[in-house]
A and B are shown apart, each in its own frame.
Chain A
Amino acid sequence: MTDLIHDPFVQSSLLPLLLSVGAVGLLRLVGGRRLAVLGIAVTFVAVFALVVGVPALPPPSSMGKLFWSAVAGLLIGGAADAAGLRGRAASALVALWLAVSLGWIAYPALDSAVAGVTFALLLAVGGWVAFGRLPSRSESPAAPAAVLLALALAVGGTALIGSSASVAQLALGLAAATGGFLLWNWPVERHAWGVSGQAALGVVVLLAGVLSLFTQAQAAVLLLALPALLADRLRAALPLPETGFGRAAGTAVVTVLAVVPALIAIGAAYLLSGGEASPY
């Protein structure tokens, strides 16, 4: 059993998937449909503690800052969802948390123009994550969960090829946790996305920040995965009937389409790396 828990593959796939299914179900039971999505961030924090360990507070490194930023996002998201916060105020809260966290994590690496541009791009993506949802679809969890799944896969795959195993494991664990949430919401969307969901999306931006600013991975390829952010709009444009079947088909189509740019990004990372990975 201990061997299984220490297996990097299990740590970043099966374990977070099962943890997420359990956490989402438990939070649904305790806090209702609005708090269930918090299970994604709870699972991410648990996987972080297992893979990297609980960092010191105050944290001396970017990885430690990533952990405590995720914990802060979890708490902020949970509190905001419990209080029923929605709309521009909720978006502004997510944007503030994400900007502060990004700045905190990134500032030791902001020593060049390239790093400055990278940071600006990360802030822009964070802004889209916070404010980019269509008001008409703000409660629907399927499309943003598909975005989170796709971006986490892109970051995880790129990190894995780029010899940054912990970021890879954490991002793939986040993807698996999102998979657990999606299982609860297919074929029927049972839960709200809310501030906690937006915070989980913010965590993948923070992971991308660590990958692009503190490792030698080909993180620029992540730009290729950004079309996944349009999943919400794509879902709204799909000519599917507003029936149970139509909604289930919409979730499946959007998830598959969101993952395509992520796979392109991973393929580009592989090609740029010369096809050689770390022996770990």
Chain B
Amino acid sequence: MDLSYHAYRDKLNDEYAEAFTIIESYRYTKRIDAKLAEEWLMELMDNMLTAQGAGKTVESIVGNDIDRFCKEFYNRYSGKDIVVGIVRKIYGISAIIFFYSLIDGLLADEGESFLFGGTNVMPYLCGLLVGFIMSELILVVFIPLLRKRKISYKSYNKLEIWSTTGFFVLAGMFSLIVSDRIELNVDRLVLIVLSGSYFIIYNIIQAVINYRRYGTFREPKIEHVTVRDNINANLETELVRTWIKQYKKKNMQLEKRGKELLSYKEFLDSISKRYDYRRQRNLTYLSTICGGLAGFIIIFGTSGYLTKEGLGKMFDSGMDIFLFVILLLAGCIVIALLLTKMIKPGCEVYANVSKICDEKDLTLEEYLGNEQKE
């Protein structure tokens, strides 16, 4: 699995990061396909990091007029790319429809056929509508504020995260409320066949395109060390730098209060709980499951309150509620599994760094200096 360009954002200094966020935000105004934007912005990220490392200013990459750079940078987005982008979006939608229909079939009323019953697609259409409104809101309100420099890029990133989270909650609530009043039933068999066929045909065409371009049915693997090795190599340096900053900040605060300063060993001991893998793993599972259940209660509770209906009317039977909760918990567990995979390298780095610093009586700066020499 390859990293997105987001993984390297923290390596940019403020000057480069601001320019990058402005260029990144510009893609939304052109509605650039996500996969293409990822590829182009990854190349830009590489060029920026290389220039930054060579001591060059951001102007060496983007020039004096960043708006002009954005226009030219995205000028290569052609009509053909727009069509390919739409085809990809439909692929994603068809996968969602396929699994949504299968799950709907599993939760079908007793006596209703798995294949020949009807699936209400209204929740899905409502979700699409809310998603469209939210993305237009970001385009019309947030991006012009960023490009006119009326908000900082950090504020823009926060706004984007909150509005995306809000979208998911609103989409869920809106879908439940509207779909309860208006049903649009489509035969499940039609949905499964159409979406499944699109899925298969898309993958066949993609395989043919890959074969003509690369000689293999899949895109060639990108040459690199394992992602894990690369994460650990960069993560160790970044984490130690972060701990040095936190250590200095902590001691500044203690000095102001007239208290005794911490040694490096004491500081590392004080943050040990954060990097106790078992503890963090259990907390991650607990918080993900609680978050999922809380989301379920908020969305269904609010929808029930607004429609004046209880869970009994939203679900046909207790078994449906049970199955739904099981699916929700399964989803939370999958998310928790992915999150725990992400926290493990950090815990390993902490264990390694604190052991070496303890054995060789090193400060964190000395540790970093030794590592960089190696």
Is the A/B pair a real complex? Answer: no
Write the residues of chain B forming the contact surface with A, with a CB cutoff of 8 angstroms.
none
